[in-house]
Amino acid sequence: MSPDRSEAAYAGSAADLALRALDALRGIEGTATIAEHVETAHDPQAALAAIRILGADTFAPYLLAEAVFHPQDAAAVTQSFEVFPPPLSTPAPPPAGTVEPWLVAWRDWATTTLLARFTGAGTALPDVAGHGADGGLDPGTALVRRPTGAPELTEPEPPVATGATDRPGVPWQIWSVRMGQLSPLALPGLDGPVHDAARAAPLVLARGATRAVLRRDFSTAARITRWLALLAAEGARLPLDPVPLVEHIGLHGGGSRLALDVAISRRLLALEGL
């Protein structure tokens, strides 16, 4: 199979899994949703890749609705890490390390943290994670190491004359996009430096989501808005009401992935219906 064909197969399978998760979140899906996705797939490898792509969001129906997490689901998530193992070492955060592997490491940590929460099998995959019994993993926690660092923000509004700043980090536009790329972490049951970064900058998240809407980049807007919805669920005071923002984004088609992001935000905001 050519690389392009593989990527297309993986993306298509991820869209299918997002739709299954969305149906489960709505209460109209059967049991063992994740396992069924793999068992009924024409391309099981693509189905396993889809679990890695969707990541922690595969757990949304179990965290936010009444879906039941089955042993078969746990086995499917575990198998996805066996077939597509994470790196043996944890990537360094940018700017010392490359951005994309670091983002993937955070998303993998979120997935395995929730797997551990539902199964208590924090050390079930020592070889897959690349760490043995002395690898620093605590039973009942993530099967891969938690990455270090969080997206760092420069001054929200750098000096207009030069745009220069002596603070580390990236401008708010890039920062908000990176937070959107980490939106699978915006779920109950997860916490860490990325969440602290979100709590410290609700205004920048609001600006980033608004900017994405104005640019008609609704997928990015939906991902960033999930952080605002999570902060609202935690009782934080926000610079804007996320409810109209979520409703507006939901009016625009964007496939099953965007629909799932919107549905998760609606659940976090305790809105009626999805």
Predicted local distance difference test score (pLDDT) of residue 154: 83
Give yes or no for residue 270 having a pLDDT over 70.
yes
Peptide bond connecting 244 to the previous residue in cis, omega within 30 degrees of 0: no
Domain-located, residue 238: yes
Interior CA angle at 167 toward 166 and 173, to 5°? 115
| Burial class (CB within 10 angstroms; exposed 0-12, middle 13-18, buried 19+) of 10 | buried
Of 131-140, 144-153, 163-172, 228-237, minimum mean pLDDT range = 131-140
Domain-located, residue 115: no
- pLDDT single digits (tens) 213-251: 999 999 999 999 999 999 999 999 999 999 999 999 999
Predicted local distance difference test score (pLDDT) of residue 82: 94
Domain-located, residue 3: no
Predicted local distance difference test score (pLDDT) of residue 32: 80
* HSE-CB of 88 using CA atoms within 13 angstroms: 4
Domain tally, the chain: 1
Residue 231: alpha-carbon gap to chain centroid: 15
* pTM of the predicted structure, to 2 decimals: 0.87
Domain-located, residue 112: no
144-148: long-range pairs with CB below 8 Å, 24+:
144/86, 144/90, 144/105, 144/108, 144/109, 144/112, 145/90, 145/109, 146/90, 146/109, 146/192, 147/90, 147/91, 147/93, 147/102, 147/105, 147/106, 147/109, 148/90, 148/92, 148/93, 148/193
Domain of 208, in residue numbers: 150-274
- pLDDT single digits (tens) 89-142: 899 999 999 999 999 999 999 999 999 999 886 534 433 333 333 333 344 445
**Six-digit token pair at 268?**
């976090």
Of 9-18, 26-35, 222-231, 250-259, minimum mean pLDDT range = 26-35
Domain-located, residue 72: no
Interior CA angle at 64 toward 56 and 143, to 5°? 30
